[in-house]
Amino acid sequence: MNKVFLSATFALAMFAYPVNAESPSKKAAIEEVFVVMGMDKQIYGGFEAMMLTVDQQAARLQLNGEETEELKNIYRNWFEHDIDRVKIKAEMVELYAQTFSEKEIAELLTFYKSPTGQKLLEKSPELMKLGAQIGMKEGQLKQHLLIERVQPFIEKHTK
């Protein structure tokens, strides 16, 4: 029984190893993709897209322009000083390694180096921001429908 358990454990470890231990060349290729992508800029663009929710929060709090800017600066300070972007990039490398083969990573690199890929990278932060605005606008227009659906649930669970 013990031999069977050890054999099964060893077999599982052998099959699991390639999933968890990507080749250094694959990780280097992913890091090159991130350099070409301007991953730092992409991360910052994602943060700036999130700032739209801060604008909504400021509106709910009825803040004036100066107060809104103060609130945004709190968020920016948090992003600059507390968010570990090195950790985020390391986790993104792992995510890409699990998601894409080495061949696909090479294809991504080729695409992002192309004029179309460069244009996509250049425009992505603004597209993300505008896309978030479109989604928020639609959400605001239909918020009353959500409230109609959620209200019975809240009433049911607050008794």
Whether the CB-CB separation of 132 and 52 falls below 8 Å is answered with yes
For 77, the 3-state DSSP assignment is helix
The alpha carbon of residue 105 and the mean position of all alpha carbons in its chain are separated, in whole angstroms, by 18
Residue 64, domain member (yes or no): yes
Give pLDDT, residue 3.
54
Residue 6, domain member (yes or no): no
CA torsion sign for 90, 92, 95, 100 is: negative
List per-residue pLDDT tens for the chain, 159 residues long. Answer: 555 444 555 444 444 444 445 688 999 999 999 999 888 887 887 788 788 888 888 998 999 999 999 999 999 999 899 989 889 889 999 999 999 999 999 999 999 999 999 999 889 888 888 888 898 889 889 989 988 998 988 888 887
Give pLDDT, residue 109.
94
Crossing angle (nearest 10°) for helices 65-82 and 39-60? 140
Residue 96, domain member (yes or no): yes
Residue 61, domain member (yes or no): yes
Give pLDDT, residue 65.
92
Residue 4, domain member (yes or no): no
Domain range for 79:
23-133
Give pLDDT, residue 22.
67
Residue 138, domain member (yes or no): no
Domain count, the chain: 1
